[in-house]
Amino acid sequence: MKILSIVGARPNFVKMFPLTKIINKSKHDHILVHTGQHYDINMSDIFFKEMDVKPADYNLGVGSGLHGYQTGEMLKAIEKVIIENEPDVVIVPGDTNSTISGALAAAKLHVKVAHLEAGLRSFNRRMPEEINRILTDHCSDLLFCPTHVAVRNLKNEGITKNVFQTGDTMYEIAFMIEDKVNAIPRRDEIPDEYLLSTIHRAENTTDEKLPKIMDELGRLNLPVVIPLHPRTKRKLQSLKLLEKTNNNLNIIDPVGFFEFSKLLKDSKAIITDSGGVQKEAYWHEKPCVTVREQTEWLETIEAGGNILAKPTEIKEKLDIMLSNEIAFKKELYGYKDTSLRILKILETLEK
């Protein structure tokens, strides 16, 4: 079987890593396509190097841009790659513009689409990621869901055929890299006790919200380590806030996946607007404050490990989380062999 996988943003690389490793060791042909949605070396190239994954077979070099432009350019480029390679199935992970572009290109060429991390819903259609998730799920032939809530969401939308609760590949990878993460030394500038924060979503990097978020982070009772996303850095610079940040804030450049996992494991708690970081915080048993109005990872909220906060509520919600006794459930995200389960399902396409 010929399998073509499409990645483009850092979350895609992480989700595909365990599956890429196992497919590459199998009897099947595997073509990896990088759209170039993330092109900063700290957001893209470093992942392939530290994970010891061979570079993508195609780098489409699309780069950044408005949603319509970026998605359109990806759609055109991916279509050419699919026509050239004639794969049996196209795998698209996550909810980025690379995800929906790959799904649309394959579906319109009548190539089977497999969605990795299907069924997630924040129920906020103002989020571009929510639109990408919904459209990708509705044009996919195989839907690999990380949790029972994801399966339920699809059922509520009338999608019940070829829906599989396979677990989460990010949960799998956390155990695959554990020894390497533990071996990473802590940087000299990282405090002994600290909070870890990642803020990057478009709705939070506005003229109105970002100053409030930074002000709240500066008021917290512990130092805050912030690996700064390029989008957030640009906005802070444009607002002339980067040089005015509180001494409580330890701003560093984006780090590789291994080092970020180390920072997360060693932290006291997490403040984030990322999807994946909410899950990583949960399975590393770190209280999490999510600076969003909704989350696609409802399980973390229901289990008590995560809480939503407005920009002005970060300190209040963090104090609540740090005072709670949280019973983290190891079984929430499934299995340590998710990629093998997925490969076995893909192999049924041959029959």
Residues with catalytic annotation?
200
Q: How many Cα neighbours within 13 Å face the side chain of 281?
A: 32
For the chain, what's the residue count? 351
Q: d(Cα 95, Cα 169) in Å, to the nearest integer?
A: 15
DSSP per-residue string spanning 175-211: HHTHHHHHTSPPPTTS-SS-EEEE---TTTSSTTHHH
Q: Phi, psi at residue 137, to the nearest 5°? A: -60, -40
SS3 (DSSP) at 93: strand
Alpha-carbon distances of 231 from 43, 219, 227, 247, rounded to whole Å:
12, 23, 12, 22
Q: d(Cα 219, Cα 314) in Å, to the nearest integer?
A: 9
Alpha-carbon distances of 173 from 99, 117, 163, rounded to whole Å:
20, 14, 22
